[in-house]
Structure 1
Amino acid sequence: MDNFGDGIAKAVLENFETWERKRKPLDRSSQKDEGLSEKTKPREWVPLSGIVAQRNDKISCVAAATGMKCLPKDKVSKAQGIVVHDWHAEILTIRSLNRFLLEECLDLALSRKAFSEYVRFRSDEEKTETHFQPFALQDGTQLHMYCSEAPCGDASMEITMAAQEDSTPWAHPPSLISGDDENTLHGRGYFSALGAVRRKPSRPDAPPTLSKSCSDKLSAKQSTSLLSSVTSLLISPQNCYLQSLTLPESQYSEVACTRAFSSIGRLAPLHGKDWGDGYSFRPFKILTTSSEFGYSRRQALGSREALVPSNIASLWTPRTSETIIGGTQQGRKQFSIKGASQVSKRRMWVLAVAIANELYLSSPAILSSLKVEKYIEVKNGELLKKRKEVKEDVRSTLKGWQRNNDDESWKDTEVNV
């Protein structure tokens, strides 16, 4: 393949074409609505992201998602592991990948199938006291990501600045200089603060959020791997790192991506870092594609059409699909446990416990770490000590990272039975 980035994009874009129509953005420009002016027929846009698994010459999309919103700061404490905090496409895709890999592990643990194309059991010889996980990604498998838009935050700042009528950098407020205020996590403003940790962007009049930008979260994944805390109790992080990130040519700024993601940018202090037990700093390559997503911000519009953001997010894996509004399954009340997404903290915790139950005889310590009273006890467990060390090193490197911990001290009756 002449351009591997084109191949990655093609795998994700072709997968999106197979989705049900209800999971895609609306094109109201073709609908009759007498209440709309002829000059303001709306068409929706949304970011798309996907993760592709490569093994030998075969590439397959294993997770994909659309979405562009996140939970306001003042609602995080109400989420209780039910509501997803961040449903930007990139983050929803990573959560979906974790769900898919755990479902593959459960089938192996239950002997529903003798072989998984994506995960395998680790031998006793491979495991150590601190590198203990019973599963690993299949040998020779590489993971690649596609994004239809430049990840929000540092990797998109040059593109954002170029889109402004006046791209003159704004003056820093005192709180940015002192670094002792939550304003250090600014959204799209203060363009001259390049390399900074940023909040998810939003309208100036929207409630603030403490969700870090996709650039920041992807930067951290270069050290922690793509696995979540719960998943990393069961699957070794050893080869669960992104090898590349593919962006449309229109969304690629070499300066921004080098600064945001590379070992010669803001992450330079982590260059060559190896924490052991499968964790090391592994910056991904940036690839480009000439392909554009049909529902991107750059879709062609008629003279009487207007482009508006989509309010739905959708996720897909080979095993599940789901539509999310407000961090909850579409059609469900936002903070109702019945509306919890399959990729919510609660559902993922329950799934991990089910796997650990099946492996109890060979891995009792993992079940003990998972079957605790509160979710925060999982995150603070001894088996995740190494992962916490990695995260702390990343956060100290990415100055201004504020924790968003208001949604971890809850219980789940399905776990505590």
Structure 2
Amino acid sequence: MISGSGDDHLGQRIADVVVDKFLKLNSKAGKPSVRSNGVKEWTVLASMVMIKDNEVIPLCLTTGVKSLPEKVRTYSQGLMVHDMHAEILCIRSFNRFLIEECLKDGEMVVRTDTQKFKFKDDIKLALFISEPPCGDASMNYLISSKQDNTPWKDETPETKRRKVIRGRSHFDKLGIVRTKPGRSDSVETLSKSCSDKLCIKQSTGLNNSVTSELFDPIFLDYLVLRSDKFHRDDLARCFKDRFAISIHDLEILTYEEDNYPFHKAEGTVPSPNSLVYIDNCEPTIHVLNNGVKIGSYVKNKPPKKGGESILCNHRMIQDASKLLDLQTYTTYIEFKNSQERRKVIEKAKNHLENWVCTGIDDFSI
């Protein structure tokens, strides 16, 4: 189901709870600021929310609008987070939440007869985003907005060679895979738009390669968007019409207004930092810059020792190794490619057609 006519009261409740939680987070470094020249920063806010017994509980909360260039994959060694758009970072944070619950025998999960984990209680999951997902789900909204509503005309030779459609190129083409927007003159990234990544998640579940070994697929039930910031046609096309395969239904919940102070506005610039809050982690708040802990970035190299985020692939699989049997694998990619879920992912990518894969970011395990 794709509509904007769901339980709007629930949508407003979620928005209120998420923004209130964000405003109370004590992390000045992770929130947008006013630069020394007086220019204000903006960023997107996202949260994975659990709905249980009519209670709204934010499990994780993230901000961010950045993604790393494709070339970073040649030296990242699994130590850098490549996509820091808020909603994708939020899904990554949710997977970290799941790992922490399993490691700590948390109150929310229990072992099943198959020795996998599951949530103890009947829950629903909602993803709140302060802006519609970049890519196909927001094309008409982008065209009709006062900002960024001019399509890029110039393409780099590399982009043409790869047949990549970047975020703000070719407004006349709808229902296609796009990469993260960035700037028209920015270094190429092959990181797919948030629209496209969310579509894949509605086929595979929110689980990543690590948590798919610990849980059966966990699906997103609701997407929560502000009522004046999306077009229903975009969402129907993106999440339903362009799929010829069965995917998990996604219901759109809307809300009318919020008190979030860092929406994009005329004269503002994107914040370079991402704030990450995960309810069951210690510490609960982390700040990322260029895909690593703030202050740990090294140009054209992996981060400083100990500067990797708990959200990077290396830390995810390292910390979850206490729960998994990894003895038959020597590398992360070998482990990842051995999973049955890869077939589901490839099938979904094929239906989305012009999906150009990113480079490999591998490391020993």
Shared fold, TM over 0.5: yes
Q: Which has the higher helix share?
A: 1
Aligned to 1:311: 272
Distance in 2 (alpha carbons) for counterparts of 1:367 and 1:216: 30
Q: 1:68 aligns with which of 22, 41, 65?
A: 65
Aligned to 2:4: none
Aligned to 2:111: 121
Aligned to 1:282: 248
What is the deviation of 1:167?
6.1
Q: 1:2 to 1:162 in 2, by over 3 A?
A: closer
- Give a deviation string over 1:25-81, Cα, whole Å, max 9, x none: 1034xxxx5xx4xxxx31110000001011121120001100001110122211110
Aligned to 2:29: 22
Q: Which runs of 5+ in 2 are unaligned?
A: 1-6
Secondary structure in 2 matching 1:42:
coil
- Give a deviation string over 1:354-383, Cα, whole Å, max 9, x none: 223xxxxxxxxx4445xx2211111122xx
Aligned to 1:252: 230
Secondary structure in 2 matching 1:340:
coil
| Residue 185 (structure 1) aligned with residue 146 (structure 2) | no
Q: 1:169 to 1:84 in 2, by over 3 A?
A: closer
Conserved? CA contact 2:151–2:168, under 8 Å: no
Identical pairs, percent:
35
What amino acid maps onto 1:138 in structure 2?
Answer: K
Aligned to 2:56: 59
Q: 1:325 to 1:170 in 2, by over 3 A?
A: closer
Distance in 1 (alpha carbons) for counterparts of 2:290 and 2:148: 33
What is the deviation of 1:250?
2.3
Q: Which runs of 5+ in 1 are unaligned?
A: 109-115, 128-132, 274-280, 357-365, 413-417
Aligned to 1:266: 242
The higher-RCO structure (CA 8 Å, 6+ apart) is: 2
Conserved? CA contact 1:137–1:236, under 8 Å: no
Q: How does 1:169-184 map to 2 (within 5 A)?
A: 181-184=161-164
Q: 2:45 aligns with which of 38, 42, 48?
A: 48
Query: Structure 1-normalised TM-score?
Result: 0.78
Q: How does 1:85-234 map to 2 (within 5 A)?
A: 85-108=82-105, 116-123=106-113, 127=114, 134-163=116-145, 181-234=161-214
Q: How does 1:302-381 map to 2 (within 5 A)?
A: 306-318=267-279, 319=281, 320-334=284-298, 335-336=302-303, 337-356=305-324, 366-368=325-327, 372-381=329-338
Distance in 1 (alpha carbons) for counterparts of 2:252 and 2:32: 27
Q: 1:353 to 1:407 in 2, by over 3 A?
A: same
Distance in 1 (alpha carbons) for counterparts of 2:225 and 2:354: 27
- In the alignment of these two chains, the number of paired residues is 348
Distance in 1 (alpha carbons) for counterparts of 2:307 and 2:150: 44
Q: 1:60 to 1:168 in 2, by over 3 A?
A: closer
Conserved? CA contact 2:152–2:184, under 8 Å: no
Conserved? CA contact 2:8–2:253, under 8 Å: no
What amino acid maps onto 1:411 in structure 2?
Answer: S
- Give a deviation string over 1:171-215, Cα, whole Å, max 9, x none: 999x9xxx9942333221100110110000011111010000000
Query: Structure 2-normalised TM-score?
Result: 0.89
Structure with the greater alpha carbon radius of gyration: 1
What is the deviation of 1:233?
0.7
Conserved? CA contact 1:51–1:144, under 8 Å: yes
Distance in 2 (alpha carbons) for counterparts of 1:181 and 1:157: 24
Conserved? CA contact 1:142–1:243, under 8 Å: yes
Structure 1: which 4+ aligned runs deviate by more than 3 Å? 164-173, 366-369
What is the deviation of 1:15?
1.4
- Give a deviation string over 1:301-332, Cα, whole Å, max 9, x none: 8xxxx311111011111122210000010011
Distance in 1 (alpha carbons) for counterparts of 2:135 and 2:308: 28
